[in-house]
């Protein structure tokens, strides 16, 4: 059989896994990555994650002003480097709720039920807690909770239990709910991402072109045959049998739109020739959101961050209403005050319980401002547009405040709330969440998988209406998962590779 060739765009969480699986099956892969090598030391030390924001390894996206969130432009960091956003992220491994995947399948997407997904997750993981019916220990990606908690993080867990939460030692086990130590993709105090675990060891078997910024897909007679990209200031074309976009939830739709695949009226308004009128491209953008609850301490200091130790180590899943099918909130706890861009620093030392919502109903869009690579994308999250999102975020802030008042924090550490602050009552939090909400960094949904007229990819991740073109990354999620999106993006990489290889007759 002649060798199959593929172009993969993006060496992030999904793209690195997909590429490894294609290469293992004998596919000849050209991998185009806009970013460079992961030589920045801050990528490798979990303590230094914050330094990567606004750095050359960050696409440094911003939303348009968010009408329902104080008209602010929210910063959306995304990885622009080998490893993608898994090179910038907090490495927290959350497989999310079985109901998330059963829901995707119920929308008409066979192969995505929890029963299909669980064995794939197990095959990805090398879990420090060992293999079991629900966990894997032979995979390529280390997932560990075998690290020391900072004293403040120990106390946050204790305070959560005093608040009435279950202490859940394995939220990736049979249920999410409760307060837990985070499981992270780290080895020996250093980040491990899917690029490092899957692809770097076999990089000499792949044609990897860094600094290659893909403009668009070349489509001839309804078939994708290649891509146009810019490298070192010059325009290039590359051709292959199959084209796969793994550029993430903000860039895969942008590449499709620049290719003339998207809502016809939008493309025509920018002078882009319409190749396929695909209404769903750039629609259904959604994200999780956080709002900070910040404390300083009077009994003893929290102390500065420690090299090799992440500034976030614990989180919790909680249902703000008992009738919910899955937890709708996931506060994440930091051993530092997280004032961000919106809050005046009020203390040098402290800790933050970041209230968070993980089943948002608000939906936004991604659009182009022009046809060129340098024309900014217009990202509208519609943050907090849906009143249910506001209600849930307020409930989460209230819970975080209450956890801070428990003896393990209030008595032992002398925790004093500095944001929202004692001048804002629990009944008066709407303005606070609207003026402080920030991204949880989990944008998804812009190339939605499905079988309806507006779906962008089919259940095997082939773009509807264009042959030989696939999207394999977080953008294909029909609805966001209940929890951090990196593990689901890894899963999408594995499943996307299997579908492609099976369709090509390279896997039984
Ligand atoms: C700051 C931050 C913290 C996060 N923390 C966590 C966490 O702790 N746990 C968790 O589960 N999730 C976390 N996430 C989210 C998680 O990292 C993402 O959901 C996941 O990485 C998405 O994977 P992806 O493959 O879809 O995209 P990405 O990993 O973003 O990969 C896309 C790749 O495509 C490249 N690319 C984009 N456009 C082009 C183009 N035109 N041409 C060529 N290459 C291109 C990019 O440079 C990038 O390498 C975080 C994200 C961020 C940014």
The β-bridge relationship of strands 261-262 and 312-317 is unpaired
Verify whether ligand 1 is closer than 6 Å to residue 183 (CB atom). Answer: no
Q: 259, 251 in Cβ contact below 8 A?
A: no
Q: Whose CA is nearest to atom 1 of ligand 1?
A: 89
- Catalytic positions are 442
Distance 299 CA to ligand 1 centre (A): 40
Contact indicator for 61, 78 with CB cutoff of 8 Å: yes
User: For residue 53, which atom of ligand 1 is closest to its CA?
Assistant: 1
Report how far residue 242's alpha carbon sits from residue 63's, in angstroms, rounded to the nearest whole number.
Answer: 32
- Tell me, using a 6 A CB cutoff, whether residue 397 lines ligand 1: no
Distance 487 CA to ligand 1 centre (A): 11
> Measured in angstroms, how far is the CA atom of residue 52 from the centroid of ligand 1?
13
Closest atom of ligand 1 to 76 CA is 53
Please tell me the predicted confidence (pLDDT) of residue 318: 98
Question: Which residue has the least CA distance to atom 9 on ligand 1?
Answer: 92
Beta-sheet pairing, 190-191 with 186-187: antiparallel
* Tokens standing for residue 67: 């009408």
Mutate to test the pocket of ligand 1, among 313, 480, 486 (most ligand atoms within 8 A of CB): 486
Which of 378, 332, 351, 362 has its CA nearest to residue 445? Answer: 362
Task: Report pTM.
Answer: 0.98
- Identify the residue whose C-alpha is closest to ligand 1 atom 48: 84
Place of tokens 């939008």: 266
CB of residue 441 inside a 6 A radius of ligand 1: yes
ipTM over 0.85: yes
Cβ–ligand 1 distance for 100 under 6 Å, the answer: no
Long-range contacts of 134-141 (CB under 8 A, 24+ apart): 134/172, 134/173, 134/174, 135/170, 135/172, 135/173, 140/197, 140/198, 141/185, 141/192, 141/194, 141/197, 141/198, 141/490
Q: Residue 418 C-alpha to ligand 1 middle, in angstroms? A: 32
Given this model, what pLDDT does residue 125 score? 98
Tokens of 273: 């020739």
* Minimum CA distance residue for ligand 1 atom 12: 486
Cα(488)–Cα(499) distance, integer angstroms: 16
Task: Answer for the pair 274, 43: CB distance below 8 angstroms, yes or no.
Answer: no
435 CB contacts (<8 Å, ≥6 apart)?
69, 70, 72, 342
Q: Tell me if 288 sits within 8 A of 330, measured CB to CB.
A: yes
Sign, CA dihedral 188-194-96-406, equals: positive
Residue positions counted in the chain:
508
Lookup: tokens for 507: 């896997």
Alpha-helical regions (H) of 111-150? 114-124
What is the radius of gyration, based on Cα positions, of the chain?
22
Say yes or no: CB of residue 257 within 6 Å of ligand 1.
no
Per-residue pLDDT of the chain (508 residues; tens, 9 = 90+): 558 999 999 999 999 999 999 999 999 999 999 999 999 999 999 999 999 999 999 999 999 999 999 999 999 999 999 999 999 999 999 999 999 999 999 999 999 999 999 999 999 999 999 999 999 999 999 999 999 999 999 999 999 999 999 999 999 999 999 999 999 999 999 999 999 999 999 999 999 999 999 999 999 999 999 999 999 999 999 999 999 999 999 999 999 999 999 999 999 999 999 999 999 999 999 999 999 999 999 999 999 999 999 999 999 999 999 999 999 999 999 999 999 988 999 999 999 999 999 999 999 999 999 999 999 999 999 999 999 999 999 999 999 999 999 999 999 999 999 999 999 999 999 999 999 999 999 999 999 999 999 999 999 999 999 999 999 999 999 999 999 999 999 999 999 999 999 999 999 9
- In terms of Cα–Cα distance, which of 490, 485, 219 is closest to 330? 485
Contact 442, 287 (CB under 8 A): yes
The minimum-distance atom of ligand 1 relative to the CA of 215 is: 41
DSSP state letter for 57: T
The pLDDT value recorded for residue 2 is 54
Q: Please tell me the distance between residue 255's alpha carbon and the centre of ligand 1 in angstroms.
A: 15
Question: Which residue among 82, 85, 445 is best mutated to probe the pocket of ligand 1, counting the most ligand atoms within 8 A of its Cβ?
Answer: 85
Distance CA 272, CA 371 (A): 7
Quote the ligand 1 centre to 72 CA distance (angstroms): 23
């Amino acid at each position: 059989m002649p060798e199959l060739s593929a172009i993969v765009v993006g060496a992030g969480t999904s793209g690195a896994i997909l590429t490894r699986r294609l290469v293992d099956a004998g596919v000849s892969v050209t991998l185009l990555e806009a970013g460079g090598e992961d030589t920045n030391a801050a990528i490798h030390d979990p303590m230094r994650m914050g330094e990567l924001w606004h750095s050359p390894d960050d696409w440094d996206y911003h939303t348009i002003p968010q009408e329902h969130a104080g008209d602010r432009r929210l910063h959306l960091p995304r990885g622009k480097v080998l490893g993608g956003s898994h090179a910038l992220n907090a490495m927290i491994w959350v497989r999310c709720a079985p109901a998330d995947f059963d829901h995707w399948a119920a929308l008409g997407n066979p192969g995505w039920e929890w029963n299909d997904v669980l064995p794939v997750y197990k095959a990805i993981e090398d879990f420090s807690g060992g293999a079991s019916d629900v966990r894997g220990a032979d995979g390529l990606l280390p997932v560990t909770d075998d690290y020391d908690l900072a004293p403040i993080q120990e106390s946050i867990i204790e305070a959560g239990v005093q608040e009435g939460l279950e202490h859940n030692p394995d939220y990736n086990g049979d249920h999410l709910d409760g307060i837990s130590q985070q499981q992270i993709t780290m080895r020996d105090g250093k980040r491990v991402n899917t690029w490092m675990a899957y692809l770097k060891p076999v990089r000499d078997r792949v044609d990897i072109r860094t600094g290659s910024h893909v403009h668009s897909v070349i489509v001839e007679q309804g078939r994708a045959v290649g891509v146009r990209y810019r490298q070192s200031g010059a325009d290039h074309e590359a051709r292959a049998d199959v084209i796969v976009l793994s550029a993430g939830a903000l860039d895969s739709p942008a590449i499709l739109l620049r290719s003339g695949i998207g809502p016809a009226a939008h493309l025509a308004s920018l002078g882009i020739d319409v190749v396929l009128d695909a209404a769903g491209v750039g629609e259904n953008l959604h994200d999780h959101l956080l709002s900070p609850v910040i404390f300083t301490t009077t009994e003893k200091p929290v102390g500065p961050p420690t090299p090799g130790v992440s500034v976030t180590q614990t989180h919790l899943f909680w249902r703000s209403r008992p009738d919910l099918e899955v937890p709708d909130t996931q506060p994440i706890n930091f051993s530092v005050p997280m004032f961000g861009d919106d809050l005046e620093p009020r203390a040098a030392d402290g800790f933050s319980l970041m209230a968070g919502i993980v089943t948002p109903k608000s939906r936004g869009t991604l659009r182009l401002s022009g046809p060129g690579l340098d024309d900014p994308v217009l990202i509208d999250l519609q943050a907090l547009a849906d009143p249910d999102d506001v209600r849930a975020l307020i409930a989460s802030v209230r819970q975080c405040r209450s956890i801070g008042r428990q003896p393990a924090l209030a008595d032992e550490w002398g925790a004093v709330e500095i944001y929202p602050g004692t001048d804002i009552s629990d009944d008066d939090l709407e303005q606070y969440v609207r003026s402080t909400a920030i991204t949880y960094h989990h944008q998804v949904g812009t190339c939605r998988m499905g079988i309806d007229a507006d779906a962008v990819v089919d259940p095997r991740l082939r773009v509807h209406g264009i042959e030989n073109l696939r999207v394999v990354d977080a953008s294909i999620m029909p609805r966001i998962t209940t929890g951090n999106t990196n593990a689901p993006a890894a899963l999408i990489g594995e499943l996307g590779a299997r579908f492609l290889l099976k369709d090509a007759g390279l896997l039984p």
